[in-house]
Structures are given as structure tokens and as C-alpha cells.
Chain A
Amino acid sequence: MARQTPDLNPQELQRLLNRRTFLNRGTAYGVGAAALAAMVGAGRSTARAADVPNPLASPVQFVPKAKRVIQLYMAGGPSHLETLDPKPKLAAMHGQAMPESFTQGKPIAQLQGAKLVCYAPQHKFLKFGQSGLEFSEVLPKIGAMADDICIVRSMFTDAINHDPAHTFMNTGTTISGRPAMGSWVLYGLGSEADNLPGYVVLTSTGKYGQAQPIAARQWHSGFLPSRFQGVEFRSKGDAVLYAGNPAGVDRARQHDVISTIETLNRAGEGVLNDPEIQTRIGAYETAFQMQMSVPDLLDLSDEPEHVFQLYGTRGGDGSFAANCLLARRLAERGVRFIQLYHRDWDHHGAIKEHVAGTAQEVDQASAALLIDLKQRGLLEDTIVTWGGEFGRTPMAQGDGRDHHIKGFSMWMAGGGIKGGISHGATDELGYESIEDVVSVHDLHATILRQLGLDHLRLTYKYQGRDFRLTDVAGNVVEKILA
């Protein structure tokens, strides 16, 4: 296994530290300068004896299989029982009491104190592709990509309410103030995007679930430097906040202002003797470029008709499909981490109709993204994940299902993940993951591994402790790696 061991002398390190660019490009050392600096102790030295680089601390431990991540985040908690995890036994038990042996002493959300009754899966499962991988009939187009997909049917999480569960899925803990996975990845690898943020967040809503709130905490960089924060691209108003020129200021006038700022900043450099000014000048250059590259990103006039057909959108409408198309464009431009939240999966009632409805909102576009990436040769180094913050109970909540954390499913594709397989299993009623169980930390460790990062060594010292995305846990799920 190749191991890159950057050989940095302190001066070189200091130079890298001084170059605090927001869009921290991948360095010649193959590792984010910030991560490296922090891990060798120069970011926040706590002991004067510890400021010599330690090459063992390099986070790049593996040959990277993937360069970027696109997370199709099905927010609200999709029912695994109607999408990815077939459970015939649950159908047979429909209407009968849920055996207590399953539920005793387990946390429960809105069904607190209610009678727990089995509720049959509301949609048929079909076999797809050469692999015969089973998907629910509500996801036919995703199903058609079965041979590229690995379904993980043995997930579990720690938090049973949306907000903390999202925080756990993104940051590996329910405590606020920790960095999201996208920020960790950017910190570890930097970004290859020239004039776009390295971590972009897109959000859409649908018509069938409760649109649960999503906090900006979900893409916050926590204690990592702010430049690793996810940047939200909006479908209304300025796509990136404040990227539009003020009224009465056109691009040429804005350029005049920015170049005069630069002239004066340069003039101040000598007098003030302040190296930070150089960084400020760089930030204004990038800001100006971004004001151009964002409209360019959003301008779909260069997309051929068949692409619109494929995704089922002409873009610009803030839909999940439009976001999928943007995700592909962001991936092409070197954005490292792309998150698409679709906030329509909280189905406490009428789960049959609502799952079908929400599935329809995402099925074609999710599949289109895979097809499009594959055609462009991008899927092999892009990890695509599809799933929510938790699953739903095998027990009925009226004609819906409640939040459920003991067992749920996700799928992954690309980036060196084996296609056409399922991994792990829940018990016969779909209640608890029992076979090849995968925790959120395991998922994180696996994604980092594919990016070439060792989750044990991607650390940041904060409050005296070396923090990791995977906290004190996490095992790479080797079985799903190609």
C-alpha cells in the first residue's frame, strides 16, 4: 500500500500556514495543508517540544479510490421497509402484536405508550439487474442501476429525533459544534475547485412528508477553520449569499472597486508590514471569480436536450432533480463534497401513498445522476450515497410508521464500492440490524478510506483532545470495497 509521507521543513510548513486560502487547493503533498499543519502540532501547539513535524501523522494512508462524495440525503427518515429492505415475515405478521422480545427497553419516539402492532410492507419488492438485487417497486429507475449499487441493510444510529439524528449522521456525535463530514474531508484533502467552494449544500422539498427543519449546523465546520464550512447554494435569490453585485453596480464597476481595493491593500502592505494582507488580496480575487463562476455553473444552456430528458428537469426550479444535475456540474468542476438534502421522507401517516410519492420525486434523478456520472467516467472516483438519518418502525403508527434507529438501509455506488451486492441484514421483522452491522461511524470510516484518508489519523486537536469524525469508534466496512 502506497504511503505518502510529506517531507516538510518548518519554513515550508509556515509558508503553507500563511497561505490561508479559502478554496484550499490540493497541494503537491496530496494532503490539505491545514490538516497536515494541525496534525503535526503547528496549528495549535500546546507544548513547545511538540512543534516538529511527525511524518507518521500524515492522514493519507491509502491509495485513494475516490476523489469526491455526492450525498443524496433523504431527510426525514425513509422507511427501509418500503424502499430497500424486503421483509415478507412482517407482511405475514400484519396486524399482530409486535413481539416484546424485539422492543423491550428500546427507545421509541411518537409511539411512546402506544400498542405496538406489526404493519406489513406497503410495496412489493422486485429483483433488478444481473445481480437480482431487490428494490421496492417504487424505485424502478434506481433499481435499474442495481449492478452499480451496494445496499447496506444493517445500519443503525444513536438518535431518534430528526435534529440530533442529522447531527449524528453528519458529525458523528449529537453534540453541536463538531465538524460535518464534508468539512473533515475538505480539511483532509483540500479542494480541486478553482472558484467554487469545496463543500456545497443543495436542498429541496417535496409534497408528501413533513418538511422537517434542517439546521445550518449540519454543514458547519465546527471547530475546524471556517473555510471548510459547507456553502449553501440556493434556488431563489443569490445562489451563493451576497454573490450578486449591489444594485447600480455592474460587473465592470465592481471590478474597478475590487482592483482599487487591491491597489490600496498592496500599498498598505509595506507600511503595515502585515503578511495577512496577501491572503486578503487573494480572498478578493477569489470572491470576484466566484461572482462569475456561480452564474456559469447555474447556466444550463450548454446542456444537451438528452440530459434534460435523463434527469426529467430543465433545471432552475429548486427540485431534487435540478439539484442532481447541478451536483454533476459541481463534481465536474472539482467540488469535493456535495450534499443534496431532500426533505420529504418523514412519513408518520399514509405511508403507502407518501413513500410512493416521495420516491417518485427522487427515483429518476438519482438514477440519472448515476448514469450521467458513469457516462462521463466520473462515477469511478465519485462516491454516491443515498439514505436518511434513520429508518422507520416495523410497527404501525396509524397507517404510517414512526422514527426508528435500530435498523435501516442506505445505498452507495461508485468510488470503489462493489456494485450489485447487499451488505448486512436486519432481523426477520426489519427491527434491528443483526448481521454485519454498520454504524454511522463505520459508514464515515469507509467513505474516508475510499478517499484515501485513515479515519484514525484524520484528527484535529481541540480542547486538548485529538478529535476525529469517528469519535472513538468506526471500522471500515471492508466487505463492500471492490
Chain B
Amino acid sequence: MNPGRKLVFTWILLWSGQLTSADEAIDFNRDIRPILSDACFQCHGPDPGKRKANLRLDTRDGLFGDRESGTPVIPRQLDASELLARVLSEEAEEQMPPPKSGKRLTEAQVSLLTRWIEQGAPWQGHWSYEPIKPSALPALPTNATERNPIDRFVTLGLQREGVSPAPDADRPTLIRRLSLDLTGLPPSPADVAAFLDDARVDAYERMVDRLLASPQYGERLAQSWLDLVRYADTIGYHGDNHQDVWLYRDWVINAFTTNMPFDQFTIEQLAGDLLPGATTSQKVASGYNRMLMTTREGGSQAKEYEAKYAADRVRNASTVWLGATLGCAQCHDHKYDPYTTADFYRFAAYFSDIKETAVGEQEPTRIPNTTQAAHAARLDDMLRSLQRTTSSDTPARQAALQIWEETRNSREARWLPIQILAAKATEGTILNAAPDGSLLASGSSPENASYTILATAPLAGMTGLRIEALPDPSLPANGPGRAGNGNAVVSEVELWMDGVRTAWTGAAETHSRKGFPAAHAVDGKPETGWGLIPRAGRASQAVFALATPGSTHPPALLQIVIQMNHGTRHTLGRFRISATADSEPLLLLNPTLPDEIEAALATEPAKRTPEQIASVAAYYRTIAPELAEARSAQSALQVQKNQVEAAMPVTLVSESMAQPRVVRILPRGNWLDETGEVVSAAPPGFLPQDVPSGFRPTRLDLARWMVSEENPLVSRVFVNRIWKLAFGRGLVATSDDFGSQGAWPSNPELLDWLASEFRTRHWDVRWLVRTIVTSRTYRQSSNASENLRQRDPENLWLARQSRFRLDAEQVRDQVLAASGLLTQVVGGPSARPYQPAGYWSYLNFPTREYQPDHGSGLYRRGLYTYWCRTFLHPSMLAFDAPSREECTVDRPRSNTPLQALVLLNDPTYVEAARVLAQRVVQEAGPDPKDRLNHAFRLVLVRQPREEEISPMLALYQNHRQFYQDQPAEAAKLLSVGEFPTIPDVNQADLAAITSLMRVILNLHETVTRY
């Protein structure tokens, strides 16, 4: 070591003694790892691509291994530890981190490093990757009180810092805090009164249990989970179209309400569809995998979006369950944590079986509710019973069949196909004759066509002509026409017999399009005709009667011209022409049957195969007059069933494809580069795992690994989030990052005790919440001395409760509840409260205008507000609700003028103030002071103080006068929102009280939980 170094060193050592008490034990993970991570890992960490000088300081070997240029750390040898020398160096080439990085260790950091080396440089693996060990309960310090073990861990820390815990908050504060934390709603006046009067020792615990048993508790917990999984009502990219996935949201609410164990909660979401005998509910849960943003933008490349979706799922699942920033390893190995790029793609591979549309609309799954399922089952029963009737035969029906067949045969026998000599068509269309006497058009398919057929009459004294339009697989929509939908329109049929034009006397048809009867084909008007749709793919026939019978000396020479002028290729594709000599040709209409039935009927009954016999019988049942009633009942039921099915809600669920997508490592995340290695699914390599082998690991394997004994992260991560719910901040401040750049837990023993107990108690979420909120620590007052606030600004020690602004949803729910407007319905499609007109005007494909709900839909909890990802409801946005495009672990809690504008002017809040005014007028009697008292109780769970009453009464007098003088203004104010006003109340009075209510709803205390 050069003398300069030595000098700096001595100076630092002197300093370090002053900064902190030198004898306090250094904890590697708490004190040293964060310094190394922040200052060194970027170049000397897990990412080999960025590693300089082949040195890594994130491993024990790297930190303590011998190197030519000096060993980074040698325990108890300050002089010989190169790391220390480098961070102290003033030489630009030696100094670490390099001067150009802009980073320099602070004196305090150097002091910590120094003392750590002095103390023997004990090393630990990163705390959150170490197994969760049940923390031994420490002894309760003397003079301390506790309500449960949480307090013991906290008190121990407080004693180290020499501070005492705050006293319990008063009961009104407690019940408001607890109600808001556990249900997101303020307590009702009755609940408050009951709690204040409850003298039992366990009054508090009873209140906790009552709240935990309510569905509003499920709603409250669901809210933060929905942020994590990015639940929304629109797809997110480009046109941001609507999608229905609210059944998944309701599943989450229900899971929390019914206290589903967290391991099951995890498994059902990641892989509910893969569970043996998966229930409908489990399939709905697996919708978790479909919550990501998707696109329908034309011109998007499927491969690009497949890559985006894969990465999105990795980012989400790894943040939600592992508190890991695995998403950072998409293009390169993680800079700070031991996640490799291969880990990223292996994790992605778990999800590669999920069936989805890369670009375009996703296919939803129908999920009936209980009533609908029962209804559909009943209809199915009835349909089945009718089906039995219409699918079986009686002797009577067999006899009827025989008569039908004979009649038909006798009619059919009187028709004979004409004998075609030549057939030609205009404009390159080819007409080919088939053995059955039919003609099939092929070749060019002009807009209009005319077919000319030369033939000899098959019989003497011809009286009628029949055209059968026949289906054929070579035709569009299977024909019989050549139009795109299989239609054809026969404009005119003209007949010459032995060169003489013959007139027609009538026409009949088995089927025609409405307004296109067969008579139009012989009316001499080329613009009308016989049309066939909607019987595409099926046969139809028309019979035309001749005015004069044909020659009695066969064979008469026939020339038939079929004109088709409708346009857009409405020409015949396949058809057959027959003739009869019967005196009443129009009565010989014989519906053309499907080919196989015709063939069966053409076979002598004795020679028919059993299949032919059965198919003839089956066909007859579709036309048998005696079954007509059953058939119409059947089709009516089918219509009903279709309606029931159409009313069933839909959602997106996970479904496995037999052939999963191939997942390969994409170099630098580039989806166009297919040179990377193909990988199969596996958990991140450095984490403990029991790797299954011999088959493709599934999402179910992933889910089970998450909640397995050896997983060190999942329980810690979740426990920390629940803690945050109760204290506004996690024991690990960075609840989205448990990696080496994340924060060190403020009370690691407490975190691990909770994480280990939570797992031991079968992932019992309600136990966890209950344990936290019944602790003395939770029940403390949030009022802290200036001194404590200075010493512990972030409230790491928990010598007091925290105080924080309510979430966007609660800001809304609270005023709706206090005014009595709140609709207490759990679940269902999302609700549409008032929203400024034109707010969605930048959306397109399609453009859309927001339509607010009416009635109770306007007053639903914020949780149910329609979540449009690209344009979230502006009031929610103002209070920091996230767009849910990505996973949101921590919402910011801002305090902005836009929030003031919302609370002052959004019709939701003005209406709530007006309705709250009505409520206090009705419930509190005529004295303005009583009304004020009541309103304070409803919103703030307390009485107004004297210094609040007088300015409020002054405002009341002032505005009452104003609105008395300006009744029109009062009327306007009182008509904000849909909710009806109460009659028989002085309007000026009500308007003035509305002003008072607006004041209360805008107070800082109102939007804050203390």
C-alpha cells in the first residue's frame, strides 16, 4: 500500500469511530451487500457480459479469492484488502467505482466496509434466497406489553433504539382505521356506537372478526391483488377494445372472502385448468394467465407479440410471487441478482402451452352461473326427451312412411330427365353433363349468364318442365348457385318446342327467396327472377306448366334458354331439367331430397342396406306431419337454449395446446433472431428446486414449486404485502424487489416469523391479517412526536402507526357509503360511473362514446369501476390508481391539485355531498349544529371541534342567504347527479348544507387514514 493510501485510511478510521458505535456487529446482508450491489455489481456482478477484469464481488469466491492484482477482501487485514484500497484511492485509474460512473462511496459506507473487514468479514448469501427458518420467539423485554408475538419482535427493536411504543389509538380512530384497512369502507354509525359501548375485554377482537367475515373484506384484499395481476376491462394495446374477464375478478374476491389458503390460491391461478377434474371455478381462476395486454392491430406480427406476451408473463409472475425483477434478464443476465437470461426464457416456457391469439380477438369461454347452468340443464333434459320422440319409430309411422314413399315415387315416376344433346353457356362457362342428368357449371364465372340447352323431350305430350337446383361441393358455399353465398337467381326460362316458342301458364316451387318466387322466372320480365337463398348447400326445385302440351310424336326437339341477369354471379351452378306429361304438372312438385336419400329411394325396398333404411326413416321423421308438433317444440327449445347460452357470461381461461410454442433464448431480446438455444421450463437455476425430469414441466409444476417448502421467497413476499396493507409500508420497503438491490427488511426476524408461521398454518390468509391487526403494534396511535419523526421518518421502527392517504377506490367508496348512495352488490360486470364526455375521444377501431350507467350502477364501489387501460377513469387516475398495463406493487400516494379538482368538481362527489346533505337533514333534525355533528360522525367518526363549528356555521348562513336570493342556482346545484332530491325541504337550506358537506368531503383528514 502506498503512503497516500495509508493516510486516507487513517483518516477514515478516525471518522468511522465518530459516525457509529464501532462495536455494533456488522451484518453483511444488512450493511455490506447493499453497498456492493449498488456500487460494484454492475461491472462485477452476475452478468458475465458486462463483467470487468473477470472479477465478481457477488459471490464468496470472488470476494475472498486470491488474484494477481490483490485479494479483494482479507478478513481483519485492512491494509491487504484491495477492495478497500480501491474505493479509497484518489488515482483515477485505480479508483472504484471509476470516476466516470459518477458513483463514489460515502464516508459512512467506507466506514461500514472497514469495520466489517475488521470484524472478520463474515459473509452471507442474499437474505431472501436463504431458507425461511422459524425465528425463535425472543423473550419479552421487561416492562413491555404485548398482545401477540409481533409486538415482541417490534419491542425488541424499540428497546435497542431507546424509544417506547405509542399508546393505543382511541376507539373512534381504531374503528375507522380498521374498517378502512379491512373493508375499504368507513364504519356505519351503528357499528361505531356498538364498539364504543362494548365493554368486553375482547371488544376489539370481536370487531376484527366481524369485519373479516364480511364480503367487503374480500373486496378490499382483491383490490391490491388486481393491481398485481393487471386486471382490466380492456385489452390495452392500440384500439384498447373491451374484453370480459370480470368473472376472474369475482373469483379473486370470493377466494379472499372464503379464506382460500394462499397455496391453493396460487395453484388455481397459475394452473387451475391443469388440475385433475378441474372445476369451472378453477378454470376461471386460470384466467390469471390471460390478464396481460393483447393487441388486435392490423399489421402486427404474430411472432413479435408472442415474444411480448411471453416476456410480460415472466415479469408478472416473477414479481407477483417471487418479488423478483426477473424481467431484467430478458436481454442480458441480471446485473445484480443471480438470474440468467436462460432463467428468463425457461420461466417463459412454463406458459408456452397457453392457447391464445397472438394478434386479434381472443376466444372467450362461456361460464354459466348456477341459475343459468340449471336452466340449460333443464332445457337439455326436455330436448333429450323430445329427441327420443323424434328419433324413434312406431308401427303407425312406418306405415305412413310407406304411403309417403309410394306417393312420392308415383309423382317422381311421372318426371323424366330430358335427353341433353348440347348445352352451352355465355362467356367461357363450361356446362358438363353428369350421369344423373344434371349439368354442372365450371370455368369462368361471369356476373350474368345465359345457358342454352338442346335436348329431346323424354316423353310425348309434354305438359310441364322442372328445374332442380342442386348443391355441389365445387360451388361457393356448396351451391346451388355460383354467387359467393351459394345463391342464384333464374331471371327467365324460355322454351322452344320444335322451333316454336312456348308460353307458360304457371309455376310452383319447393322454395324461393322472399320476393323471388318461381313465377318470376316465367313472367317475361328479365329484371325479376326465382331466387334460392337461404337454402345454400341444399336442393330446391321449380315446376313450370306449359300453355300448350307438346308434340305427341316424340321426340320433340327442345331448346331451353335460362337467363340469369341478377348480377354478382347469381347464376346456376348445378341443375337438372326434367319433363312430365301429367295433366296437373304443378301438383307433381316433389321436393328434391338429399342425394343419399334419393339414392336410397331409387333402390328397391328389399335391396336397401340397413343404413339406407335407417336414413330414409330418419329423413321421414323430419317431415312426418304427426311429429310436426314435437319438431316445433324442439326448435323452440333450441332457440331458448341458445338464448340462455348467449346470456352466460364469458371470460378468458387458460387452455393447454397439445403442441406448446417453441421457446428459445432470444439474443438481446430480439424476436427476429432465431439462433438462440431452445429451452424447456424450469425455475431460476440458483433457487432450490426439486427438478422433475423425463417430461415437460407444466404450469402446475411451477405453481407447486412456488408454494413448496424449499421456496424461500413466496411466503415472505406475500406476508410483506399484507403487512403493507396494515402499515402503509412493507417490512421490506421495496415490496416489488426482494433481490440484492431491494431494501433490507426493517425487522428480518419478524418477517421470517410471519412467513414461517403463515406456511405452517397452511397459508391461512385470514390468520395472517388477524394476527397483524390484533397486535399492539397495529393498534398504536399514529401521532408521533417531532423527535421521533426526525429520528425515524420512514417509521421503520414502528414506534407508532403509519398514516397515509386512502387509495383511489376508498376515496370514492367512503363518500358513497357516508351519503348512503353506495350499492352493496358483490361482483358482476364492471360499472360505469359519471365520466366527462369525450374522455375516450382518442380511442379508435372502433371509436366509442362512454355511456354511464343509470341507477344503482352509478354508485358501485371503486373496485368495480370500468377499467379502461389506455384511458382509466380520470378520478381514479388522479388518486394514483394504476392503468394496470403492467404489474403494480406499490401505488404512489400523491397529494396534488388535480385531486382537489376531482373532490371539488367531479359530479360523483358533488352528488354525494348533496345526498349526504339530504341524509343529515332527514336524520338529524332542524338544528344546523346537529346536522353538522351527524355528518362528521358519518364521515370522520368523530364530533366536530369548536374551531370547526363556527366557520362552518358562518359558511352555512352565508350560502343559505345566497341560495335564497338565487333559487335557480340552488336548483342547479341540487340537480347534480341522477339521485332524486327530497321534496318538502327548503331548497336554499339544502343547497347551503350541500356546501358544508363539500367542505367535509374535501378535508385532508377525510382522505387520510390515521
Contacts and interface: CB of A to CB of B under 8 A. Distances in A.
A56 B103 contact: yes
Interface stretch (A138-146, A184-192, A276-284, A442-450): A276-284
A163 B297 contact: yes
Q: Which of A50, A249, A254 has the most CB of B within 10 A?
A: A249
Given A20-B894, A22-B896, A464-B742, A50 B109 contact: yes
Contacts of B744: 46-48
B743 A46 contact: yes
Contacts of A203: 842
Contacts of A238: 836
Interface residues on B, range: 35 or more
B1004 A274 contact: yes
Interface string A153-191: 000000011111000000000111100000000000000
Contact of A249 (B783, B880, B973): B973
Interface stretch (B360-368, B586-594, B904-912): B904-912
A419 B793 CA distance: 51
Nearest to A203: B842
Interface string B723-755: 000000000011011011111100000000000
Contacts of A54: 103-104, 106
A241 B877 CA distance: 11
Interface stretch (B466-474, B523-531, B867-875): B867-875
B377 to A, nearest CB: 43
Contacts of B959: 253, 256
Interface stretch (A66-74, A119-127, A262-270): A262-270
B225 to A, nearest CB: 18
A210 B844 contact: yes
A274 B901 contact: no
Nearest to A273: B783
Nearest to B947: A267
Interface stretch (B31-39, B179-187, B648-656): B31-39
A407 B301 CA distance: 19
Interface stretch (A212-220, A323-331, A372-380): A212-220
Interface in B833-883: 836-839, 841-845, 847, 869-872, 874-875, 877, 880, 883
Given A245-B905, A248-B969, A274-B1004, A263 B951 contact: yes
B926 interface: no
A238 to B, nearest CB: 7
Given A203-B842, A274-B803, A287-B900, A49 B885 contact: no
A247 B905 contact: no
A441 interface: no
Interface stretch (B236-244, B280-288, B427-435, B573-581): B236-244
B300 interface: yes
Contact of A50 (B102, B106, B892, B1003): B106
Contacts of B566: none
B299 A163 contact: no
Contacts of A131: none
A161 B238 contact: yes
Interface residues of A, number: 95
Given A250-B969, A261-B1003, A272-B783, A217 B870 contact: yes
A247 B907 CA distance: 9
A267 B948 contact: yes
Contact of B108 (A49, A258, A260, A291): A49
B1004 A237 contact: no
Contacts of B87: none
A15 B328 CA distance: 34
* Majority secondary structure of chain B interface residues (helix, strand, loop or mixed): loop
B962 interface: yes
Interface stretch (B132-140, B153-161, B994-1002): B994-1002
A109 B299 contact: yes
B264 to A, nearest CB: 29
A330 to B, nearest CB: 17
Contacts, number: 275
B336 interface: yes
Nearest to A243: B901
Nearest to B955: A260
A344 to B, nearest CB: 12
A237 B951 contact: no
Contact of B901 (A226, A273, A290): A290
Interface in A201-235: 203, 210-217, 220, 225-227, 231, 234
B335 interface: yes
Contacts of B842: 203, 213-215, 343
A261 B999 contact: yes
B906 A242 contact: yes
Contact of A226 (B874, B896, B900): B896
A94 B894 CA distance: 57
A46 B734 CA distance: 8
A271 interface: yes
Given A110-B298, A161-B295, A49 B34 contact: yes
Nearest to A228: B894
A423 interface: no
Contacts of A268: 1003-1005
A52 interface: yes
A431 B643 CA distance: 54
B238 A162 contact: yes
Contact of B874 (A241, A263, A271, A280): A241
B597 interface: no
A143 B298 CA distance: 34
Contacts of B810: none
Contacts of B583: none
| Most interface-central of A231, A456, A464 (chain B CB within 10 A) | A464
B568 interface: no
A50 B103 CA distance: 11
A304 interface: no
Contacts of A108: 301
A109 B301 CA distance: 7
B169 interface: no
A236 B733 contact: no
Nearest to A159: B304
A237 B897 contact: no
B952 A248 contact: no
B991 interface: yes
Given A49-B31, A272-B1005, A463-B325, A220 B883 contact: yes
B293 A176 contact: yes
B1010 A463 contact: no
Nearest to A247: B972
A283 B897 contact: yes
Interface in B93-120: 102-104, 106-109, 112
A273 to B, nearest CB: 5
B958 interface: yes
Contacts of A160: 299, 301, 304
B299 A110 contact: yes
14 contacts: A45-B743, A46-B743, A50-B35, A213-B842, A225-B892, A227-B894, A241-B836, A241-B874, A241-B898, A241-B901, A242-B875, A248-B971, A265-B1004, A287-B897
Interface of A: 14, 20, 22-23, 44-50, 52, 54, 56-57, 105, 107-110, 112, 160-164, 174-177, 203, 210-217, 220, 225-227, 231, 234, 236-238, 240-250, 253-254, 256-258, 260-261, 263-265, 267-268, 271-274, 276-277, 279-281, 283-284, 286-288, 290-291, 343, 402-403, 456-457, 463-465
Interface of B: 30-31, 34-35, 38, 102-104, 106-109, 112, 236-240, 293, 295, 297-301, 304, 308, 325, 328, 335-336, 672, 733-734, 736-737, 739-744, 783-784, 793-794, 803, 805, 836-839, 841-845, 847, 869-872, 874-875, 877, 880, 883, 885-886, 888, 892, 894-902, 904-907, 910, 945, 947-948, 951-952, 955, 958-959, 962, 969-976, 991, 995, 998-999, 1002-1005, 1008, 1010
Given A45-B743, A290-B901, 13 more contacts: A49-B108, A50-B106, A105-B672, A107-B672, A160-B299, A163-B297, A241-B898, A242-B875, A247-B973, A253-B962, A254-B904, A256-B955, A464-B740
